[in-house]
């Protein structure tokens, strides 16, 4: 088996059970025999955002008790570190830094981000967004690697569905803290 195949982990997205608390969703998923989960943006937000630090520790203990590995989580779908408004981009980058620290504490190995919240209309908009995303990812990717978390940029559709574009971003950032989340549904649309 190749090294890449050994690292491939099938997981289930906790959003499948969005109506349940994160802990109850994990209980159900574990009862079905799953070992790896993709902790949804909604569920990790429920655990971390505005909660006392003990909530995160309780969730981590629940995962340990159930034998579940939180292989990845999604950042909020509207996170946009490459935003054209500098202040907004900085706020989103700061949020990503906080979420990376929370992921490290919960032993979540990968955090998936969408580099744009919606499809951009022109090539010029996409190229400018790519430049801004590279700049911002350079500022956070090494810290992610140091924390044991990989930021995984997801292939979307259109310009950002081209694997060559994502590869260019990864190469220009040049950090082991940055990778790709390959979404097969998006690839099928592409």
pLDDT value at 63 more than 60: yes
Q: Closest by alpha carbon to 151, among 164, 163, 133, 165?
A: 133
Encode 4-20: b = buried (16+ Cβ within 10 Å), e = exposed: eeeeeeebbbbeebeee
Q: In terms of domains, do 189 and 173 share one?
A: yes
pLDDT in tens, 34-49: 999 999 999 999 999 9
Tokens encoding 26: 């994990």
Q: Closest by alpha carbon to 79, among 101, 98, 106?
A: 98
Q: What is the C-alpha R_g of the chain? A: 17
Q: In terms of domains, do 41 and 132 share one?
A: no
Q: In terms of domains, do 21 and 49 share one?
A: yes
Q: In terms of domains, do 36 and 89 share one?
A: no
End-to-end CA distance of the chain: 29
Instruction: Centre a 10 Å sphere on the Cβ of residue 146 and count the other Cβ atoms it contains.
Output: 13
Q: In terms of domains, do 59 and 122 share one?
A: no
Is residue 100 in a domain? no
pLDDT in tens, 87-145: 999 999 999 999 999 999 999 999 999 999 888 889 999 999 999 999 999 999 999 99
Is residue 107 in a domain? no
Q: What is the mean pLDDT of residues 10-16?
A: 89
Cα dist from 121 to 103, 126, 159, 167, whole Å: 33, 8, 10, 21
Cα 92–37–155 angle (5° rounding)?
50
pLDDT band at 1, cuts 50/70/90?
very low
Is residue 41 in a domain? yes
Contacts of 145 (CB under 8 A, 6+ apart): 175, 176, 177
Domain that holds residue 34: 1-74
């Amino acid at each position: 088996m190749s090294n890449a195949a050994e690292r491939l982990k099938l997981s289930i997205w906790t959003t499948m059970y969005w109506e349940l608390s994160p802990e109850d969703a994990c209980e159900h998923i574990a009862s079905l025999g799953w070992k790896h989960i993709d902790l949804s943006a909604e569920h990790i937000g429920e655990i971390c955002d505005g909660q006392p630090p003990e909530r995160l520790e309780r969730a981590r203990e629940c995962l340990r008790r159930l034998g579940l590995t939180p292989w990845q989580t999604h950042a909020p779908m509207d996170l946009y570190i490459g935003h054209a408004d500098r202040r907004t981009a900085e706020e989103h980058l700061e949020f990503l830094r906080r979420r990376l620290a929370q992921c490290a504490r919960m032993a979540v190995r990968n955090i998936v981000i969408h580099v744009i919240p919606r499809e951009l209309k022109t090539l010029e908009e996409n190229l400018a967004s790519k430049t801004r995303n590279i700049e911002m990812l350079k500022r956070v990717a090494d810290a992610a690697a140091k924390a044991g978390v990989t930021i995984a940029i997801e292939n979307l559709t259109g310009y950002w569905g081209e694997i060559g574009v994502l590869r260019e971003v990864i190469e220009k950032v040049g950090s082991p803290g940055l990778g790709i989340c390959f979404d097969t549904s998006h690839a099928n649309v592409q």
